[in-house]
Amino acid sequence: MYLQQLQLKQFRNYAEQTVDFCAPKTILVGDNAQGKSNVLEAIELLATLNSHRTHRDRELVQWGQAIAHIQGTVTRDAGPAELGMTFRQKARRTVAVNGQSLRRQLDGLGILNAVQFSSLDLDLVRGGPERRRAWLDGLLVQLEPVYAHVLQQYNRVLRQRNALLRAQAKRLRGEAVTGDRSTPLLPETDANTDNQALWDAQLAVAGARVIRRRSRALTLIAPHAQTWQQQMSNAQEMLQLTYCPNVPLPAEDAETKIPSQEIVQQAFLAAIRAKATAEYHQGMSLVGPHRDDISLEINGQPARQFGSQGQQRTVVLSLKLAELMTVESVIGEPPLLLLDDVLAELDLTRQDRLLSTIQDRFQTVITTTHLGAFDAGWRSGSQVLEVKEGALRSPSLS
């Protein structure tokens, strides 16, 4: 897969810009705050429909403007595609494929695949579980775009069940519930219990789908991550990547390694029953994949607590390279690699490993504040673009 062209209109600090990618590697060089990461963000948006920097579309629109538009021309084995997104200050975004606006935006996923690697990714090791869940979910969306629907559905059921639990907890405390002021202390009626059972069942069904997919994705990526960590540590470090579902799963099925939907649902319902009193009093869902984590261990010790800075960086690099390999093997085409200012943070051995892995195999867009970070060989095979105050230009034309 190859991103041939990117167009930006009133996107972040770009008024109007077209970028033609004419080499497998593009280096964006420029001072701080010129617009390098904004280009990567646009590509990330086209690939994932998400930006890891913001959830608010209005921030993407150039200040003082009402609308921003980004468009990518992608060639894939299946043929070329044009992917466009329009962001608005005051209205919902639209996503279009080949000029046709999509009714379901999530259908825009899977046209462009990209793996992003930035210095913020150190949070994968150091940050809280939500950071690791987001990473795994992002990977899953690339592997099977339908997962975006699966996750959306789970979150919808979770929100509704939480609202129900919250209302119950308020009643329990004798507070008036909005829209239901007449019944400050509602007795436990059959209707209530039925309603609750219904939401429990829906949560278990939707949640089990999430759990099984997360579990499967981890079994795919874990061996790759382990191999990379070994390579980069001269076989000194064994990286263990383990899915820690909040719902305790029964022993793995010897053949598929992932328990059936039915079995996971049952385990989910059992876990809900075990936490019923606490949920009732706290007024929120305490059980489910919204509380999952992924454990990262180096030689049996949690990388978060015991890893040195360098080890933690290596873990993140291993995870990213593993992501690249996993997406490539599942999709059958190499994804794009977006490297935001990471070279400077890696020692020479790790830089070498990263660069020699990429070679020309993955289309790579890489940002840097100084070209000296790249060796001559790498630089000569790359397209270099200077980024200055929201404009890109080839240095040769300057």
Ligand X SMILES: Nc1ncnc2c1ncn2[C@@H]1O[C@H](COP(=O)(O)OP(=O)(O)OP(=O)(O)O)[C@@H](O)[C@H]1O
Which parts of 2-61 interact with Mg ion (CB under 5 A)? 36-37
Q: How far is the CB of 40 from ligand X (least distance, A)?
A: 8
Question: Which C-beta is closer to ligand X: that of 38 or that of 312?
Answer: 38
Strand partners, 8: 17, 70
Answer yes or no whether residue 245 interacts with ligand X by CB under 6 A: no
Question: Which C-beta is closer to Mg ion: that of 286 or that of 391?
Answer: 391
Q: CA-CA distance, 248 to 270, in Å (whole number)?
A: 9
Question: Which C-beta is closer to ligand X: that of 281 or that of 388?
Answer: 388
Q: How far is the CB of 337 from ligand X (least distance, A)?
A: 17
Q: CA-CA distance, 390 to 227, in Å (whole number)?
A: 40
Which parts of 283-342 interact with Mg ion (CB under 5 A)? none
Under a CB-based contact definition with an 8 Å cutoff, are residues 287 and 271 in contact?
yes
Strand partners, 325: none
DSSP state of 153: H
Listed in sequence order, the residues at least 6 apart from 376 whose beta carbon sits closer than 8 Å to its beta carbon are: none
Which parts of 339-398 interact with ligand X (CB under 6 A)? 341, 369, 387
For the chain, the distance separating the N- and C-terminal CA atoms, rounded to the nearest angstrom, is 31
Answer yes or no whether residue 37 interacts with ligand X by CB under 6 A: yes
Residue 306 interacts with which of ligand X, Mg ion, none, CB < 5 to 8 Å by class = none
Candidates 50, 51, 59, 201; binder of ligand X (CB under 6 A) is 59
Question: Which C-beta is closer to ligand X: that of 61 or that of 211?
Answer: 61
Per-residue b or e along 51-66, where b marks 16 or more CB atoms closer than 10 Å to that residue's CB: bbbeeebeebbbeeee
Candidates 30, 72, 138, 245; binder of ligand X (CB under 6 A) is 30
Identify the residue whose tokens are 């607590």. Answer: 305
Question: Which C-beta is closer to ligand X: that of 36 or that of 320?
Answer: 36
Q: CA-CA distance, 325 to 327, in Å (whole number)?
A: 6
What are phi and psi for residue 324, nearest 5 degrees?
Answer: -60, -45
Q: How far is the CB of 59 from ligand X (least distance, A)?
A: 6
Question: Which C-beta is closer to ligand X: that of 32 or that of 356?
Answer: 32
Under a CB-based contact definition with an 8 Å cutoff, are residues 244 and 297 in contact?
no
How far out from the chain centre does Cα 271 lie? Answer: 27
Tell me the DSSP string of 95-109: EEETTEEPSSGGGGT
Q: How many CB atoms sit inside 10 A of residue 74's CB?
A: 21
Question: Which C-beta is closer to Mg ion: that of 36 or that of 224?
Answer: 36
Answer yes or no whether residue 62 interacts with ligand X by CB under 6 A: yes
User: Under rule CB under 6 A, how many of the chain's residues touch ligand X?
Assistant: 17
Candidates 20, 63, 193, 256; binder of ligand X (CB under 6 A) is 63
301-302: strand order across its sheet: 239-244, 293-298, 301-302
Residue 285: closest CA among 160, 148, 137: 160
Answer yes or no whether residue 86 interacts with ligand X by CB under 6 A: no
Q: How far is the CB of 369 from ligand X (least distance, A)?
A: 6
Q: Which range, of 29-37, 81-89, 134-142, 173-181, touches ligand X by CB under 6 A?
A: 29-37
Strand partners, 68: 87
Answer yes or no whether residue 229 interacts with Mg ion by CB under 5 A: no
Task: Give the nearest residue (CB) to Mg ion.
Answer: 37
Q: How far is the CB of 89 from ligand X (least distance, A)?
A: 10
Question: Which C-beta is closer to ligand X: that of 118 or that of 351?
Answer: 118
Candidates 7, 8, 12, 287; binder of ligand X (CB under 6 A) is 12
Under a CB-based contact definition with an 8 Å cutoff, are residues 295 and 302 in contact?
yes
Instruction: Tell me the angle at which helices 348-358 and 309-331 cross, rounded to the nearest 10 degrees.
Output: 10
Secondary structure of residue 172 in the 3-state scheme: helix
Q: How far is the CB of 90 from ligand X (least distance, A)?
A: 14
Q: Which range, of 19-27, 32-40, 245-253, 285-293, touches ligand X by CB under 6 A?
A: 32-40
Sites of contact with Mg ion (CB under 5 A): 36-37
Question: Which residues of the shown chain bind ligand X in the complex (CB under 6 A)?
Answer: 12-13, 30, 32-38, 59, 61-63, 341, 369, 387
